Amino acid sequence: MLTLNEAILIFGMFVVTYLARYPLLVLVGRIQLPDSLSRALRYVPVAVLTAICAPVILMPKDTLDLRVQNAGLIAGLVAILIAWRTKNLLLTIGVGMAVFLLWRALFGG
Amino acid sequence: MSTVMTTSSPVSDTLTPRRAFLLGARDTLPMILGAIPFGILFGALGISAGLSTMAVVGFSLFVFAGSSQFIGANLVGQGVAMPFILVTTFIVNLRHALYAASLGPYVKNLPQRWLIPLGFWLTDETYAVVIRYYQQDLPHAHWYHLGSSIAMYSNWNVCTWIGILAGTQFKGLASSGLDFAMVVTFLGIIVPLIVNRPMFVCALVAAITSLITAPMPNKIGLIIAAAAGIAAGVMLELQQAAPEKKKSA
């Protein structure tokens, strides 16, 4: 059963997500966006996605793990290399996951 | 022949709204294939994070933003307080504002009955597909946009259902390591975006800050790290631009 808390959470997440999507879709083209705002917006995807990934890769057990046995570290480096050389998203996902699962099978984790 | 918005271009004579809609859905197919494992995984992870079946369904129906759904479910599982989950969701989804700003000039003549749903359905994937169509100034672009949106939305919700079923059947699915798929996907998105020094420094500062702030409660480290990365990128860009302006003046 859906609890009240869950319903409020979903509604809240809907509202904040819609606030990121709808307003600029309607406003840009009708009003001029300040330069400083559009400049800052360009950095949002890289900053947010990197801040999500880095701890998962480098701190799998809540402490910094730079050992070669760290499956996330090796798979992450391989994925970065493939994305950089090929810019192919599906290839990056496929090879990155294959390396991750192989490493985990070899070294546990 | 179509009576709606005909132009002198010969393409518009054959490209009806219906065809544009189907073309938009078809062009989104590669993105859909990429989203299938995440939709399934989200369904499974949502259940194992302790959300009810209806809540997991509700996330995909009403929030419809993959990465923030993963992070939201994860935070629920860790018992993080709701205000923090909402702020984190907003920050993670703020990149959609960039897409919206980019699409704005192309949709400014559309009525609200188009803008309200197209705004809701805006995703990384649909943006990537439709912006190219808009830039080519092809006819019935909003129908194309709608086709892409509905294709992504239907697929995401069907996959969520499959994941819920799979997650209840195979308890190990959530801890199978498949959740790392989100990380390699994000890496595949980030790396091609790093085209200059400010972008690189932005990523570097965000990464280092995220590690330093990782022990902080309620995952607010994510927000601090993102803000630090943005600030670093903007400052370096302004610094690089300043001497050039002097030169040209």
Nearest CA in chain B to A105: B177
Residue B2: the pLDDT is 40
Residue A31 main-chain phi, psi, to 5 deg: -125, 160
CB of B215 within 8 Å of a chain A CB? The answer is yes
Question: Between B64, B101, B118, which is nearest A38 by CB?
Answer: B101
3-state secondary structure of B202: helix
Whole-number Å distance between alpha carbons of B243 and B174: 52
Q: Do the beta carbons of residue B184 and residue A76 sit within 8 Å?
A: yes
Whole-number Å distance between alpha carbons of A14 and B114: 18
User: Does B116 sit within 8 Å of A25, measured CB to CB?
Assistant: no
Q: Do the beta carbons of residue B238 and residue B201 sit within 8 Å?
A: no
Is the pLDDT at A89 greater than 90, yes or no?
no
Residue A35: the pLDDT is 87
Residue B162: the pLDDT is 95
Residue A109: the pLDDT is 60
Ramachandran category for residue B219: left, alpha or beta (phi over 0 → left; psi -120 to 50 → alpha): left
Is the pLDDT at A62 greater than 90, yes or no?
no
Is the pLDDT at A81 greater than 80, yes or no?
yes
Q: What is the DSSP letter of B79?
A: T
Nearest CA in chain A to B75: A9
Whole-number Å distance between alpha carbons of A14 and B53: 18
Residue A20: list chain B partners with CB under 8 A: 90, 93-97, 100
Residue in this structure with the two tokens 């631009």, named with its chain if needed: B241
Residue A8: list chain B partners with CB under 8 A: 82
Overall size of chain B counted in residues: 249
Question: Between B55, B93, B230, which is nearest A47 by CB?
Answer: B230
Residue B213 main-chain phi, psi, to 5 deg: -90, 0
ipTM of this predicted structure: 0.89
Domain boundaries, chain B: 15-181, 194-244
Q: Would the CA dihedral through B188, B190, B194, B200 be positive or negative?
A: negative
Q: Do the beta carbons of residue A103 and residue A71 sit within 8 Å?
A: yes
Residue A65 main-chain phi, psi, to 5 deg: -130, 100
Q: Do the beta carbons of residue B50 and residue B77 sit within 8 Å?
A: yes
User: Does A43 sit within 8 Å of B198, measured CB to CB?
Assistant: yes
Q: Which helix (H) or strand (E) holds A62?
A: none
Residue B8: the pLDDT is 44
Block mean pLDDT (10 aa), chain B, length 249: 44 81 93 85 88 96 93 89 93 89 92 97 91 90 97 98 87 69 86 94 98 88 93 95 64
CB of A77 within 8 Å of a chain B CB? The answer is no
User: Does B85 sit within 8 Å of A83, measured CB to CB?
Assistant: no
What confidence tens digit (pLDDT) does each residue in A7-35 have? 999 999 999 999 999 999 999 878 888 88
